[in-house]
Amino acid sequence: MGSFSLVHWLVVLAIVLLLFGAGKLPRVMGDFAKGIKAFKAGMREEDETEAPHQQVQPPSPAVTNASPTNAQASAPHPGDRV
């Protein structure tokens, strides 16, 4: 009861042909297709402009003193072999 049958679609098609004519229908559908393509291109451009803003840069490593103290220099490191 809620869906359209084949007869309903044929009636709709006949009304569309009467309103637009057989010659105008391809032009109307072509314009409709161009509109869809323009919409998709706009969505793609929007995604491309948002992509750089979503990238998160890793935090920069903390700068430490490069010269070790005497206690650090003489202590063995866990990965060192003796």
Q: Which residue has the tokens 């010659």?
A: 23
Does any domain span residue 26?
yes
For Cα atoms 79, 62, 66, give the angle at the middle one, nearest 5 degrees: 60
- Average pLDDT across the chain, whole number: 76
The number of distinct structural domains making up the chain is 1
Is residue 75 in some structural domain?
A: no
pLDDT tens digits, 17-43 = 888 777 787 888 899 999 999 999 998
What does pTM read for this prediction?
A: 0.38
Is 80 part of any domain? no
3-state helix, strand, coil in the chain (%, to 5): 65, 0, 35
Residue 40 maps to a domain:
yes
Residues 6+ apart with CB under 8 A from 82: 76
State which residues form the domain around 40. Answer: 22-53
How long, in residues, is the chain? 82
